[in-house]
Amino acid sequence: MTIRTATGDDVEALLVLAEAGRAEYERYAPTFWRKAADGKEKQRGYFQALLGKSDVIALVCENLGRIEGFLIATVGEAPPVYDPGSRVVVIDDFTVSDASQWDTLGAALLGHARERARELGANLSVVVCAHRDAPKRNMLRAGGFSLASEWYVNPA
C-alpha cells in the first residue's frame, strides 16, 4: 500500500470511487445526496481545478497499481466568528473502495493528510461524514475525532 499525492492522471479513478460513494450516500438521504445528471463531469472539472493548489491536500492510496481510496482536503482560515487557535483543514471528498478498508486505508490517508495539514499551519481537522456511514464514523471516533455538528434536512 502506497499513499502519494494525487495527480491529473488519477482523476478518472477518483471519479469512479466518488461515484460509488455518492451512490451509497444517496441511499442514506436521497434528497440531500441526490446525484446531478452531469455530476461526474462537474466533479471531473472540480477535481482537476483542485489538484496542484497550494492550499489543497490531495492523496491517493494505491495498492498493486490500483487506487483504492482517496482524500481531498482544503486548508484555510476558520470563519471569523470562531477561533480554533489555528488554520483548519476541511476534508470533504474522502472515500475508500470497500467499507472494510476504513480502519486501514482510510485511517492511513487521514493520518497523512493531517501531517500535511499541520505543515500548512492547520491543527484542527473537520471531516465530512454521512450520518449513516458507520464504518467511516467508527474510524473517525477511533482516531480521536468527536462529533461537532449535524445537518438536518427537510425538502421544502
pLDDT tens per residue, range 119-135? 999 999 999 999 999 99
Q: Which residues lie below 8 Å from residue 85, measured CB to CB, with a gap of 6+? A: 123, 124
Tell me the C-alpha distance between 48 and 147, whole Å: 30
For residue 39, the surrounding DSSP H or E stretch is helix 39-50
Tell me the C-alpha distance between 18 and 95, whole Å: 7
Break the chain down into helix, strand, coil percent, rounded to 5: 40, 25, 35
pLDDT tens per residue, range 44-73? 999 999 998 999 999 999 999 999 999 999
Global pTM? 0.92
pLDDT band at 118; cut points 50, 70, 90: very high
Nearest 10 degrees: Cα torsion 102, 45, 35, 29: 40
154 pLDDT more than 90: no
Domain count, the chain: 1
- Grid coordinates of 88: 483548519
Q: What's the first-to-final CA gap in the chain, in angstroms?
A: 45
**CATH number of the domain encompassing residue 104:** 3.40.630.30
Check residue 85 and report its DSSP letter: S
Other Cβ atoms less than 10 A from the Cβ of 58: the count is 24
Residue 153, domain member (yes or no): no
Task: Tell me which residue range forms the domain holding 101.
Answer: 2-142
Residue 19, domain member (yes or no): yes
